[in-house]
A and B are shown apart, each in its own frame.
Chain A
Amino acid sequence: DTGVSQDPRHKITKRGQNVTFRCDPISEHNRLYWYRQTLGQGPEFLTYFQNEAQLEKSRLLSDRFSAERPKGSFSTLEIQRTEQGDSAMYLCASSGTGGTGDEQFFGPGTRLTVL
């Protein structure tokens, strides 16, 4: 297993465009998380899935943001009508259940730049 992967690694878009990011978690992990990290800050939680169910959403996740995990495996995060304030690193993490459920394993992130 190669860990959590994210695609693309970098995305540059113009204000008003829609973008979609993909996350592939570690294969046996049923929990998946999205975070956003801006320069000089720690990651901020966006949303959390257990299998295909979205169980928690941050107030940071405005109506322009939507996340899915249709088959309980990979997940997508879509941002509609992007704004310059959306420029950030978007991180995906996954975890299992049981004794190691506390440990979240992070992907390399997708860096979004909105011009």
Chain B
Amino acid sequence: GDSVTQMEGPVTLSEEAFLTINCTYTATGYPSLFWYVQYPGEGLQLLLKATKADDKGSNKGFEATYRKETTSFHLEKGSVQVSDSAVYFCALKGRGSTLGRLYFGRGTQLTVWP
């Protein structure tokens, strides 16, 4: 079945460091891929998405490219800030019978120190 495997955390970085959080997926067909972020005390927010192979999603300096050949959707940011400290979730939405559901990874806790 459809699933997402996400890099385990926690990840601790200094401000302005480069960030990569790995995400790989298993799905039939061509799913849509998402990164959600959960800031402390807040609900899940969509960070970025990609709906087909080679699409690049981007938002707030974060980027992720839909790589069908490696079934990956790694999240990157060139220079993290303290305000990026949050939990990041990779997710996919399959095609076909699973009309609505999102499949989430376990989440990666990011802490950025000044």
Which residues does A use to contact B, with CB under 8 Å?
4, 31, 33, 35, 40-45, 48, 50, 55-56, 58, 91, 93, 95, 102-109
Task: Give the docked Cα–Cα distance between A45 and B36 (Å).
Answer: 15
Number of interface residues of B (CB under 8 A): 25
Which residues does B use to contact A, with CB under 8 Å?
4, 6, 32, 34, 36, 42-46, 49, 51, 89, 91, 93, 98-107
A108/B43 in contact, CB under 8 A: yes
A-B contact count (CB 8 A): 61
B contact patch SS: strand
For the complex formed, measure the closest distance between the CB of A90 and the CB atoms of chain B, giving whole angstroms: 12
Closest 8 A-B residue pairs measured CB to CB?
Answer: A42-B104, A48-B100, A45-B101, A106-B44, A108-B43, A106-B43, A102-B32, A43-B104
